[in-house]
């Protein structure tokens, strides 16, 4: 018996985009376009009529923009949504409103990148189709008791993919500025990593910015690997700095969590805390195992709170996880680990 195809609803106000996306989606034997819509009102009716598995959604549309549509849709009718848009300034608001992932239209218009865009579109629709939506509670409000750090050699390394933008935001919003330095990889293309770092910097108590080659890893600062660049941590006296460089994809990604984690294992050993969050695939699992073998403490996000329980699951199966925790308990564990040993 043949496997049921993933049923997709395409929503965009551009006839050209609808045609392009529909043909691209139909090119994969596992997908089918069951309907299209030119605005949010038409999309609402098509969702009720067709019950699609995944919806692609532009956020910049007339009558009602996609962001407002998401905010109305998700509480009443939670479903996997892939944002496909050129409106980069609204992407992270859409993810916060419940979208699973996003894809920039920029590459769709570039003949040299069109095939890559279609491949990424197909992969992200398939990932979205198995993602859990509408399961997360809003971030809890806690005010942890902060103890001044005495062990400045500590470092925190985080990695995430699908669903990770909001998971990382949830954790960092509950973290004060007195934590050890943080280095992070989020699977995300160029430009968007800078925008994401700026967003985190504006919503979180600690400083967050896109990393540059040679940046020092400092307490109270989180450095995010830039899109299309690999990032490693190297030892510098009693502290660390980052090495940011153009490199090949590792574990299918650039930046790669495996690259970051394996470098942290070598540079920091038992002074490191590794955190692996929601995401498809296995990136970060092998690097996290190297961290554990070097003496690090590792946290994996649990299945119930993951949008996609892939990366942390592989790490768990490898025996790389020290603690498997719900998203809303990770910040507390970070604080417990960061305090000086008695």
The Cα 21–Cα 38 span in angstroms is 13
Give the DSSP letter string of 45-84: HHHHHH--SEEEE-SS-SSS-HHHHHHHHHHHS---EEEE
Of residues 187, 215, 258, 262, which has the active-site annotation?
A: 187
Strand, helix or coil for residue 325 = strand
Q: Note if 283 is an active site residue.
A: yes
Degrees, nearest 5: CA angle 175-180-184: 75
The Cα 194–Cα 225 span in angstroms is 9
What are the backbone dihedrals phi and psi of residue 174, each rounded to the nearest 5 degrees, phi first? -95, 5
Q: Note if 161 is an active site residue.
A: yes
Buried-state track 303-331, b at ≥16 Cβ within 10 A, e below 16: eebbbbbbbbbbbbeeebbbebbebbbbb
Q: Note if 251 is an active site residue.
A: no
The Cα 104–Cα 85 span in angstroms is 5
Give the active site residues: 161, 187, 283
């Amino acid at each position: 018996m043949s496997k049921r195809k993933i049923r997709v609803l395409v929503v965009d106000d551009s006839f050209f985009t609808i045609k392009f996306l529909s043909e691209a989606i139909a090119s994969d034997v596992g997908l089918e376009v069951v309907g299209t819509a030119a605005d949010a009102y038409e999309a609402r009716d098509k969702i009720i009529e067709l019950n699609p598995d995944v919806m692609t959604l532009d956020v910049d549309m007339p009558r009602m923009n996609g962001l407002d549509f998401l905010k109305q849709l998700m509480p009443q009718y939670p479903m996997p949504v892939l944002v496909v848009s050129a409106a980069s300034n609204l992407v992270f608001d859409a993810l916060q409103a419940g979208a699973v992932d996003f894809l920039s239209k920029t590459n769709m218009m570039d003949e040299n990148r069109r095939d890559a865009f279609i491949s990424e579109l197909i992969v992200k629709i398939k990932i979205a189709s198995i993602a859990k939506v509408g399961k997360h509670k809003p971030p809890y409000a806690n005010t942890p008791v902060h103890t001044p750090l005495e062990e400045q050699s500590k470092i925190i390394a985080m990695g995430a993919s699908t669903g990770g933008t909001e998971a990382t935001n949830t954790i960092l919003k509950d973290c004060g500025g007195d934590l050890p330095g943080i280095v992070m990889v989020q699977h995300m293309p160029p430009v968007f990593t800078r925008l994401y770092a700026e967003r985190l910097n504006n919503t979180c108590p600690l400083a967050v910015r896109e990393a540059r080659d040679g940046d020092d890893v400092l307490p109270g600062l989180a450095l995010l690997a830039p899109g299309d660049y690999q990032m490693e941590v190297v030892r510098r006296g009693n502290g660390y700095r980052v090495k940011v460089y153009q490199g090949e994809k590792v574990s299918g990604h650039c930046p790669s969590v495996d690259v970051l984690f394996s470098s942290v294992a070598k540079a920091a050993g038992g002074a490191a805390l590794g955190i692996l969050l929601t995401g498809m695939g296995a990136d970060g699992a092998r690097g996290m195992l190297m961290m554990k073998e070097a003496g690090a403490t590792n946290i994996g996000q649990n299945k119930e709170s993951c949008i996609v329980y892939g990366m942390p699951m592989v790490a768990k199966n490898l025996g790389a996880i020290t603690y498997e925790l719900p998203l809303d308990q990770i910040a507390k564990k970070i604080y417990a680990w960061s305090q000086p040993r008695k």
